[in-house]
Amino acid sequence: MLRDVTAVRYVTPLRSGGSVPGVVEADDLGTYVVKFTGSAQGRKALVAEVIVGELARALGLRFPELVLVHFDPAIADGEPHQEVRELHGASAGLNLGMDHLPGAADFTPEVARTFPVDPLEAGRIVWLDALTVNVDRTVHSSNLMVWPTFGIAPPRLWLIDHGAALVFHHRWDASDPEKAYDFRHHALGHYAPDVRAADAELAPKVTRELLRAITAEVPDAWLAAEAGFAAPDDVRAAYVDYLHARVRASAAWLPTDFPTREELAAEEALRAARTQQGRPAWLKRVPDLHGKPDAEQDWSVHLG
Protein backbone atom coordinates (compact mmCIF):
# COMPACT_ATOMS: atom_id res chain seq x y z
CA MET A 1 0.00 0.00 0.00
CA LEU A 2 1.19 3.53 -0.75
CA ARG A 3 1.71 5.37 2.51
CA ASP A 4 -0.24 8.54 3.31
CA VAL A 5 1.72 11.56 4.53
CA THR A 6 0.84 15.20 5.13
CA ALA A 7 2.95 18.03 3.74
CA VAL A 8 4.04 20.33 6.57
CA ARG A 9 6.58 22.58 4.82
CA TYR A 10 6.81 23.79 1.25
CA VAL A 11 10.42 24.07 0.11
CA THR A 12 10.51 25.14 -3.55
CA PRO A 13 8.85 24.67 -6.95
CA LEU A 14 10.70 22.80 -9.70
CA ARG A 15 10.57 24.46 -13.09
CA SER A 16 12.37 21.79 -15.11
CA GLY A 17 9.10 20.43 -16.52
CA GLY A 18 5.66 21.59 -17.49
CA SER A 19 3.92 20.17 -14.43
CA VAL A 20 5.89 22.39 -11.97
CA PRO A 21 6.15 19.85 -9.13
CA GLY A 22 7.26 21.05 -5.72
CA VAL A 23 9.62 19.85 -3.02
CA VAL A 24 7.91 19.46 0.36
CA GLU A 25 8.75 18.13 3.78
CA ALA A 26 6.16 15.83 5.35
CA ASP A 27 5.04 14.76 8.80
CA ASP A 28 7.02 11.50 8.52
CA LEU A 29 10.24 13.60 8.38
CA GLY A 30 10.66 12.69 4.71
CA THR A 31 11.28 15.03 1.78
CA TYR A 32 9.29 14.46 -1.40
CA VAL A 33 8.88 15.80 -4.90
CA VAL A 34 5.13 16.33 -5.23
CA LYS A 35 3.24 16.19 -8.51
CA PHE A 36 -0.03 18.08 -8.19
CA THR A 37 -3.48 17.01 -9.31
CA GLY A 38 -4.14 20.53 -10.61
CA SER A 39 -1.26 20.50 -13.12
CA ALA A 40 -1.83 20.84 -16.85
CA GLN A 41 -1.02 17.16 -17.40
CA GLY A 42 -4.04 16.18 -15.31
CA ARG A 43 -4.69 13.19 -13.13
CA LYS A 44 -3.92 10.63 -15.81
CA ALA A 45 -0.26 11.57 -15.47
CA LEU A 46 -0.44 10.67 -11.78
CA VAL A 47 -2.19 7.39 -12.61
CA ALA A 48 0.66 6.56 -14.99
CA GLU A 49 3.22 7.51 -12.32
CA VAL A 50 1.67 5.07 -9.84
CA ILE A 51 1.15 2.15 -12.21
CA VAL A 52 4.50 2.31 -14.00
CA GLY A 53 6.50 3.27 -10.93
CA GLU A 54 5.09 0.49 -8.78
CA LEU A 55 5.50 -1.98 -11.64
CA ALA A 56 9.16 -0.96 -11.93
CA ARG A 57 9.69 -1.54 -8.21
CA ALA A 58 7.91 -4.89 -8.36
CA LEU A 59 10.24 -5.97 -11.17
CA GLY A 60 13.34 -5.02 -9.18
CA LEU A 61 14.22 -1.76 -10.96
CA ARG A 62 15.41 1.18 -8.90
CA PHE A 63 12.59 3.68 -8.49
CA PRO A 64 12.01 6.02 -5.51
CA GLU A 65 9.18 5.28 -3.10
CA LEU A 66 5.85 6.86 -3.95
CA VAL A 67 3.53 8.26 -1.28
CA LEU A 68 0.12 9.90 -1.27
CA VAL A 69 0.59 13.46 -0.03
CA HIS A 70 -2.15 15.47 1.65
CA PHE A 71 -1.45 19.06 0.64
CA ASP A 72 -2.89 22.26 2.11
CA PRO A 73 -2.10 25.25 -0.15
CA ALA A 74 -1.82 27.41 2.96
CA ILE A 75 1.65 25.99 3.68
CA ALA A 76 2.89 27.58 0.43
CA ASP A 77 1.48 31.07 1.03
CA GLY A 78 4.96 32.52 0.61
CA GLU A 79 5.28 31.32 -3.02
CA PRO A 80 5.84 34.54 -5.02
CA HIS A 81 4.64 33.35 -8.44
CA GLN A 82 0.93 33.63 -9.12
CA GLU A 83 0.74 30.72 -11.58
CA VAL A 84 2.34 28.41 -9.03
CA ARG A 85 -0.03 29.62 -6.30
CA GLU A 86 -2.95 28.92 -8.65
CA LEU A 87 -1.60 25.40 -9.21
CA HIS A 88 -1.47 24.86 -5.46
CA GLY A 89 -4.99 26.21 -5.03
CA ALA A 90 -6.28 23.74 -7.60
CA SER A 91 -4.47 20.86 -5.87
CA ALA A 92 -5.78 20.94 -2.31
CA GLY A 93 -6.16 17.42 -0.96
CA LEU A 94 -4.50 14.25 -2.21
CA ASN A 95 -1.46 14.47 -4.47
CA LEU A 96 1.45 12.19 -5.39
CA GLY A 97 4.92 12.39 -3.86
CA MET A 98 8.18 10.74 -4.88
CA ASP A 99 11.00 10.24 -2.41
CA HIS A 100 13.71 12.86 -2.81
CA LEU A 101 17.17 11.52 -3.68
CA PRO A 102 19.71 13.98 -2.26
CA GLY A 103 22.72 14.51 -4.48
CA ALA A 104 21.16 12.85 -7.54
CA ALA A 105 22.18 14.17 -10.98
CA ASP A 106 20.65 14.00 -14.44
CA PHE A 107 21.66 11.17 -16.74
CA THR A 108 22.55 13.54 -19.58
CA PRO A 109 24.18 12.64 -22.91
CA GLU A 110 27.46 13.92 -21.46
CA VAL A 111 27.14 11.60 -18.45
CA ALA A 112 26.11 8.71 -20.69
CA ARG A 113 29.38 8.90 -22.62
CA THR A 114 31.33 7.59 -19.63
CA PHE A 115 28.76 6.01 -17.32
CA PRO A 116 28.74 2.17 -17.44
CA VAL A 117 25.39 0.44 -17.81
CA ASP A 118 25.14 -3.33 -18.05
CA PRO A 119 23.30 -4.49 -21.23
CA LEU A 120 20.86 -6.53 -19.14
CA GLU A 121 20.00 -3.56 -16.90
CA ALA A 122 19.57 -1.41 -19.99
CA GLY A 123 17.40 -4.15 -21.48
CA ARG A 124 15.16 -4.29 -18.40
CA ILE A 125 14.55 -0.55 -18.50
CA VAL A 126 13.90 -0.51 -22.24
CA TRP A 127 11.55 -3.49 -21.85
CA LEU A 128 9.54 -1.74 -19.13
CA ASP A 129 9.29 1.40 -21.26
CA ALA A 130 8.15 -0.59 -24.28
CA LEU A 131 5.58 -2.50 -22.22
CA THR A 132 4.13 0.66 -20.71
CA VAL A 133 4.46 2.71 -23.90
CA ASN A 134 6.66 5.31 -22.25
CA VAL A 135 7.48 7.89 -24.92
CA ASP A 136 9.61 10.07 -22.63
CA ARG A 137 12.96 8.38 -22.04
CA THR A 138 15.00 9.70 -24.94
CA VAL A 139 18.63 10.69 -25.33
CA HIS A 140 17.63 14.32 -24.75
CA SER A 141 15.13 13.68 -21.95
CA SER A 142 16.18 10.53 -20.15
CA ASN A 143 14.13 10.76 -16.94
CA LEU A 144 16.96 8.80 -15.39
CA MET A 145 19.00 9.89 -12.41
CA VAL A 146 22.50 8.93 -11.28
CA TRP A 147 22.52 8.68 -7.50
CA PRO A 148 25.89 8.51 -5.74
CA THR A 149 26.08 6.31 -2.67
CA PHE A 150 28.95 8.25 -1.10
CA GLY A 151 31.57 5.51 -1.25
CA ILE A 152 29.28 2.65 -0.20
CA ALA A 153 28.77 1.45 -3.77
CA PRO A 154 29.19 2.84 -7.30
CA PRO A 155 26.57 5.38 -8.47
CA ARG A 156 23.52 3.70 -9.95
CA LEU A 157 20.71 4.55 -12.31
CA TRP A 158 17.29 5.40 -10.90
CA LEU A 159 14.11 5.76 -12.93
CA ILE A 160 11.84 8.78 -12.47
CA ASP A 161 8.89 10.50 -14.10
CA HIS A 162 6.51 8.19 -15.95
CA GLY A 163 3.66 10.65 -16.43
CA ALA A 164 3.96 10.36 -20.22
CA ALA A 165 3.66 6.56 -20.20
CA LEU A 166 0.48 4.53 -20.80
CA VAL A 167 -0.40 6.71 -23.79
CA PHE A 168 -3.18 4.26 -24.65
CA HIS A 169 -5.31 5.56 -21.76
CA HIS A 170 -5.85 8.82 -23.64
CA ARG A 171 -7.80 6.91 -26.32
CA TRP A 172 -9.04 3.62 -24.98
CA ASP A 173 -11.06 2.91 -28.11
CA ALA A 174 -7.92 2.99 -30.27
CA SER A 175 -5.61 1.03 -27.99
CA ASP A 176 -3.75 -1.91 -29.54
CA PRO A 177 -1.73 -4.15 -27.19
CA GLU A 178 0.47 -5.29 -30.09
CA LYS A 179 1.36 -1.84 -31.36
CA ALA A 180 5.09 -1.29 -31.81
CA TYR A 181 6.77 1.96 -30.78
CA ASP A 182 9.93 3.55 -32.11
CA PHE A 183 12.61 3.25 -29.43
CA ARG A 184 15.57 4.02 -31.67
CA HIS A 185 16.42 7.08 -29.61
CA HIS A 186 15.93 5.54 -26.20
CA ALA A 187 18.36 6.98 -23.63
CA LEU A 188 19.95 3.55 -23.16
CA GLY A 189 19.85 2.38 -26.76
CA HIS A 190 23.61 2.67 -27.31
CA TYR A 191 24.33 0.32 -24.37
CA ALA A 192 23.27 -2.68 -26.50
CA PRO A 193 20.23 -3.39 -24.29
CA ASP A 194 19.54 -7.11 -24.02
CA VAL A 195 15.79 -6.84 -24.37
CA ARG A 196 15.33 -10.53 -25.21
CA ALA A 197 16.89 -11.61 -21.92
CA ALA A 198 14.82 -8.97 -20.12
CA ASP A 199 11.66 -10.26 -21.77
CA ALA A 200 12.41 -13.83 -20.71
CA GLU A 201 13.08 -12.68 -17.15
CA LEU A 202 10.36 -10.08 -16.60
CA ALA A 203 7.38 -11.08 -18.73
CA PRO A 204 6.41 -14.07 -16.53
CA LYS A 205 6.37 -11.77 -13.49
CA VAL A 206 3.74 -9.42 -14.92
CA THR A 207 0.69 -11.43 -13.90
CA ARG A 208 -2.90 -10.36 -13.57
CA GLU A 209 -2.53 -10.65 -9.81
CA LEU A 210 0.42 -8.24 -9.78
CA LEU A 211 -1.37 -5.77 -12.07
CA ARG A 212 -4.50 -5.89 -9.92
CA ALA A 213 -2.45 -5.18 -6.80
CA ILE A 214 -0.72 -2.24 -8.47
CA THR A 215 -3.84 -0.64 -9.96
CA ALA A 216 -5.53 -0.95 -6.57
CA GLU A 217 -2.99 1.63 -5.32
CA VAL A 218 -4.48 4.35 -7.54
CA PRO A 219 -6.97 6.50 -5.58
CA ASP A 220 -10.57 6.26 -6.72
CA ALA A 221 -10.75 10.04 -7.15
CA TRP A 222 -8.10 9.94 -9.89
CA LEU A 223 -10.17 7.41 -11.85
CA ALA A 224 -13.72 8.51 -11.11
CA ALA A 225 -14.09 10.93 -14.03
CA GLU A 226 -12.87 8.48 -16.69
CA ALA A 227 -15.25 8.63 -19.65
CA GLY A 228 -16.74 5.36 -20.83
CA PHE A 229 -16.42 3.57 -17.49
CA ALA A 230 -19.09 3.19 -14.83
CA ALA A 231 -16.81 3.01 -11.79
CA PRO A 232 -13.11 3.26 -10.80
CA ASP A 233 -12.79 -0.52 -10.60
CA ASP A 234 -13.84 -0.74 -14.25
CA VAL A 235 -10.97 1.58 -15.17
CA ARG A 236 -8.56 -0.52 -13.11
CA ALA A 237 -9.75 -3.65 -14.93
CA ALA A 238 -9.09 -1.94 -18.28
CA TYR A 239 -5.50 -1.21 -17.29
CA VAL A 240 -5.03 -4.80 -16.13
CA ASP A 241 -6.52 -6.23 -19.33
CA TYR A 242 -4.44 -4.02 -21.60
CA LEU A 243 -1.10 -4.50 -19.87
CA HIS A 244 -1.62 -8.23 -19.44
CA ALA A 245 -2.50 -8.59 -23.12
CA ARG A 246 0.50 -6.48 -24.07
CA VAL A 247 2.98 -8.47 -22.04
CA ARG A 248 1.72 -11.66 -23.66
CA ALA A 249 2.23 -10.05 -27.09
CA SER A 250 5.81 -8.94 -26.45
CA ALA A 251 7.08 -10.61 -29.63
CA ALA A 252 5.11 -8.01 -31.60
CA TRP A 253 6.59 -4.92 -29.90
CA LEU A 254 9.95 -5.97 -28.47
CA PRO A 255 12.38 -3.24 -29.65
CA THR A 256 15.72 -4.45 -31.00
CA ASP A 257 16.92 -1.82 -33.49
CA PHE A 258 19.05 0.76 -31.68
CA PRO A 259 21.60 3.14 -33.21
CA THR A 260 25.22 3.18 -32.07
CA ARG A 261 26.80 6.22 -30.44
CA GLU A 262 28.40 7.08 -33.76
CA GLU A 263 25.07 6.90 -35.62
CA LEU A 264 23.43 9.10 -33.00
CA ALA A 265 26.24 11.64 -33.31
CA ALA A 266 25.90 11.64 -37.10
CA GLU A 267 22.12 12.16 -36.87
CA GLU A 268 22.61 15.03 -34.42
CA ALA A 269 25.21 16.68 -36.65
CA LEU A 270 22.90 16.38 -39.67
CA ARG A 271 19.98 17.84 -37.73
CA ALA A 272 22.11 20.75 -36.52
CA ALA A 273 23.35 21.42 -40.06
CA ARG A 274 19.84 21.46 -41.47
CA THR A 275 18.67 23.79 -38.73
CA GLN A 276 21.58 26.13 -39.40
CA GLN A 277 20.95 26.14 -43.16
CA GLY A 278 17.35 27.20 -42.64
CA ARG A 279 18.29 30.23 -40.55
CA PRO A 280 18.66 33.79 -41.82
CA ALA A 281 22.26 34.94 -42.00
CA TRP A 282 21.94 37.11 -38.92
CA LEU A 283 20.73 34.13 -36.87
CA LYS A 284 23.49 31.75 -37.91
CA ARG A 285 25.74 33.21 -35.25
CA VAL A 286 23.18 32.34 -32.54
CA PRO A 287 23.79 28.95 -30.84
CA ASP A 288 21.22 26.28 -31.70
CA LEU A 289 19.44 25.40 -28.48
CA HIS A 290 16.82 23.19 -30.12
CA GLY A 291 16.56 19.77 -28.56
CA LYS A 292 18.42 20.72 -25.41
CA PRO A 293 16.76 19.06 -22.42
CA ASP A 294 15.28 21.45 -19.91
CA ALA A 295 16.70 19.05 -17.35
CA GLU A 296 20.35 19.93 -18.20
CA GLN A 297 21.04 21.03 -14.67
CA ASP A 298 22.27 19.83 -11.34
CA TRP A 299 19.57 17.73 -9.72
CA SER A 300 21.28 17.76 -6.35
CA VAL A 301 18.27 19.51 -4.86
CA HIS A 302 15.42 17.72 -6.54
CA LEU A 303 14.13 15.04 -8.77
CA GLY A 304 10.81 14.42 -10.53
Residue-wise pLDDT tens digits, 170-187: 999 888 999 988 788 899
Exposure letters 205-242 (e unless 16+ CB within 10 A, then b): ebeeebbeebbebbbeebbeebeebeebeebbbbbbeb
pLDDT level of residue 151 (50, 70, 90 thresholds): low
How far apart CA 14 and CA 106 sit, in angstroms, is 14
Is residue 260 classed exposed, middle or buried when 0-12, 13-18 and 19+ CB atoms within 10 A define those classes? exposed
Q: What is the mean pLDDT of residues 27-52?
A: 95
Amino acid at 303: L
Q: Is pLDDT at 28 greater than 70 in this prediction? A: yes
How far apart CA 196 and CA 188 sit, in angstroms, is 15
Which of 249, 208, 219, 189 has its CA nearest to residue 97?
Answer: 219
Quick check: 176 and 167 in contact, CB under 8 A? Answer: no
Q: Structure pTM? A: 0.85
Express each pLDDT in 196-222 by its tens digit.
Answer: 999 999 999 999 999 999 999 999 999
Q: Return the pLDDT at 236.
A: 97
pLDDT level of residue 246 (50, 70, 90 thresholds): very high
Report the DSSP pairing between strands 66-71 and 156-159: unpaired
Quick check: 8 and 27 in contact, CB under 8 A? Answer: yes
How far apart CA 271 and CA 4 sit, in angstroms, is 47
Quick check: 13 and 81 in contact, CB under 8 A? Answer: yes
How far apart CA 254 and CA 83 sit, in angstroms, is 41
Express each pLDDT in 263-276 by its tens digit.
Answer: 777 777 777 777 77
Amino acid at 188: L
